[in-house]
Amino acid sequence: MIHALLLLITVVAANYDWNDLDRAVQKAIFEGVFHGCAVGVATDNVTLLKKAYGTIGPKFGMYSPPITTEMRFDLGALTEPIGINAALMDMIDRDQIMLANKISYLYSAFDNNGKKYITVQNLLEHNSGRASTNLGLQATYDQPFPTTPEQLITNINNLKLDYKTENKTLYSELGPIVLGQVISKITKKSLPDAFFQIMTIIGLRDTVYRPNF
C-alpha cells in the first residue's frame, strides 16, 4: 500500500503543471511577502522541479542580484535545531556532555549573577530564567555597547536572570548562543568548525555556519 501511494504521488508530480506555483510565487514577490526564493521538488532519486525566482533583496530602483538555484540561504532560527541541538546530541552520544551538566561547570564565564545552577537542559528547554530582552546588544549601566563578537558574548554571559529558573518557559535566543560557546569550548574547535563536523556526520555537507556580526 505504501509503495503504491508513493508511486501515485511520483506520477502525479511528474506530470504536474507548475503554472499555479509560478503564479503564487510571483504574486508573493509582487506583494512584498519576500524578495525571492528557490523552489525544489524531488523524490528519493528524481528532481521534479528546481527553479529560482526574484532577487536577493528589494531593488528600489537599484540592482539586486537574482536568486539562483545554486545559492545558499541563511537558515536563521534553524541554526538551533539543525546545528546546536544536533551537535549536543552527538556530544551526548560521545559522553562529552550530559543534559544535567551545569553550564557554570562547563563554561566558567557564565558563572555570575545567580546563574550557577542553570543546566544544559534548562537552556534547551528555554526555562533558564533568561528572556531574549536585548540579546546583549544594548548598553546597560554596567556593560558597554558591544562593538566586537567577543564583547557581545561577554555581555550575554553577564546578563542577570529575568525570572527564577524553571518557573516558566519563555523562548530565548540567548540559550543557543551560550550553548554554542559550550560546544566550542568542549570540542576545542571554533563554532564554524564544530558545526561543519556535525553537518558532515549527518550528511548536510553543504550546510555551514557563517555568523555575521
At 64, which amino acid appears? S
Q: What pLDDT score was predicted for residue 4?
A: 35
End-to-end CA distance of the chain: 51
* Residue in 29, 70, 73, 30 with CA at minimum distance from that of residue 52: 70
> Residues spanned by CATH 3.40.710.10 within the chain?
76-201
Distances, alpha carbon 33 to alpha carbons 39, 63, 74, 87, in Å: 15, 19, 17, 33
In eight-state DSSP terms, residue 77 is G
Q: For residue 128, what pLDDT is reported?
A: 95
User: Among the listed ranges 5-9, 72-76, 176-180, 200-204, which one has the minimum average pLDDT value?
Assistant: 5-9
Residue 13 has pLDDT above 50, yes or no: yes
pLDDT at 121: 97
CATH topology of domain 76-201: Beta-lactamase (3.40.710)
Asked whether the predicted pLDDT for residue 135 surpasses 60, the reply is no
The count of other CB atoms within 10 Å of the CB of residue 147 is 9
Q: What angle do CA 87, 92, 95 make, to 5 degrees?
A: 130
Kindly list the distances between the CA atom of residue 104 and the CA atoms of 76, 118, 150, 195, in Å, as whole numbers in the listed order. Answer: 27, 7, 18, 22
Which of these ranges, 4-18, 23-37, 96-110, has the smallest mean pLDDT?
A: 4-18
Residue 3 is predicted with a pLDDT of: 32
Mean pLDDT of the region 56-73: 78
